[in-house]
């Protein structure tokens, strides 16, 4: 990404990294390699109880190569906000404008922080990735991912201030990438620092990651929190370990167990209606920028378009990281193949 778009570093604490292509531990998964190839896999890493049991990297991709996370980036923002809540810098019941007065008069001004975290803000926003007139493509242009138009806002700050409410907040789940960028602005407002620097200090460095991550930034230096992070697969797996560890990793407390427990419990299943993913998980919900399947295994996950995942299986202590380059942003077929893959991998590890 840094070859094409301006990026800011997310600093790290160096750690040794190693990895080979090995899938023997998952021999019980039917047609595993075909599943990986059919889902356009770039990297696939499976850890159980913090130990790597299987991994796969397509030719030309290595364990220490960075990959764009897309909306998995949102879930990292959720953890970061949790650390600020833990320290008393944010009260999730307060309206966003209490912390970011510039959002007064926008869709976010009177929305509570928790409503933004759970994406129950009623906002006039089109998330159609293929529509050139959509808000999400406008955000891409502002972020530098697409060619700008003369009529585009100068930066993400101006874009967020211009978004308007479409009804009362808190009644329905509405997936909206701009919500995460509003949270990033909140992070900057309460810390007085740039988002990338706060994420580095409060999350990435404490995780003990082996590689430096990056995040794309717009003309104003605003980090593209909703989808712009790139990192290596083993480092992303540590995010999964953190969540399964109740907010602690290698004896270091990063975010409170209360925040993790709340996130893993999921959100309001009645708020999510008409979602494509409900074909696989009818009781799906969203809480603190993470998805909950609502199934019997308690699977929780972070997901980005074109096939990026952190999959958490609390029953078996399994973390799965998957990087992909799927041609479609989202599809029923893609959801189905990943649901099968994750289900069968966790099933094999329990035998």
Residue 138 CB contacts under 8 Å (≥ 6 apart), including other chains:
152, 153, 159
Residue 214's φ and ψ, nearest 5 degrees, are -135, 160
Cα dihedral sign for 164, 166, 172, 177? negative
Can you tell me whether residue 346 is helix, strand or coil?
helix
Q: Is there a contact between 332 and 346 (Cβ–Cβ < 8 Å)?
A: no
CA pair distance 54, 98, nearest whole angstrom: 47
Q: Is there a contact between 238 and 51 (Cβ–Cβ < 8 Å)?
A: no
Instruction: Examine the residue annotation and report whether 71 is marked as an active-site residue of this protein.
Output: yes
Residue of 71, 75, 112, 324 with catalytic role: 71
Longest CA–CA span in the chain (Å) reads 59
Q: Where are the strands (E) in the chain, listed by range?
A: 7-10, 41-48, 51-57, 67-68, 213-216, 229-231, 248-249, 252-253, 285-287, 290-292, 300-304, 308-313, 318-324
Catalytic residues: 71
């Amino acid at each position: 990404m840094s070859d094409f778009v301006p990026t800011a570093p997310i600093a790290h604490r160096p750690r040794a990294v190693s990895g080979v292509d090995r899938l023997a531990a998952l021999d019980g998964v039917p047609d595993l390699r075909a599943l990986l190839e059919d889902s356009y896999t770039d990297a696939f890493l499976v850890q159980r109880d913090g130990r790597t049991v299987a991994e796969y990297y397509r030719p030309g991709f290595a364990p220490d190569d960075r990959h764009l996370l897309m909306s998995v980036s949102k879930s990292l923002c959720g953890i970061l906000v949790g650390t600020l809540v833990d320290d008393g810098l944010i009260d999730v019941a307060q309206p966003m404008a209490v912390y970011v007065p510039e959002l007064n008069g926008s869709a976010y001004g009177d929305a509570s922080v928790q409503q933004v975290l759970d994406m129950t803000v009623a906002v006039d926003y089109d998330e159609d990735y293929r529509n050139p007139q959509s808000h999400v493509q406008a955000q891409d242009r502002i972020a530098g991912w697409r060619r700008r138009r003369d009529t585009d806002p100068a930066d993400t700050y101006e874009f967020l201030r211009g978004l308007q409410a479409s009804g009362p907040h808190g009644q329905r789940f509405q997936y909206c990438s701009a919500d995460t960028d509003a949270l990033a602005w909140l992070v900057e407002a309460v810390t007085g620092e740039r988002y990338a620097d706060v994420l580095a200090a409060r999350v990435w460095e404490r995780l003990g990651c082996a590689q430096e991550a990056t995040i794309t930034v717009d003309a104003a230096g605003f980090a593209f929190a909703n989808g712009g992070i790139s990192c290596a697969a083993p480092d992303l797996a540590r995010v999964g370990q953190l969540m399964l560890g109740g907010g602690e990793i290698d004896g270091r407390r990063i975010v409170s167990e209360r925040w993790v427990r709340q996130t893993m419990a999921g959100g309001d299943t009645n708020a999510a209606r008409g979602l494509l993913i409900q074909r696989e998980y009818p009781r799906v919900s969203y809480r603190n920028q993470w998805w909950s399947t609502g199934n019997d295994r308690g699977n929780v996950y972070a997901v980005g378009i074109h096939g990026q995942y952190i999959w958490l299986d609390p029953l078996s202590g399994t973390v799965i990281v998957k990087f992909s380059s799927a041609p479609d942003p989202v599809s029923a077929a893609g959801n189905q193949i990943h649901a099968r893959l994750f289900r069968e991998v966790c099933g094999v590890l329990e035998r």
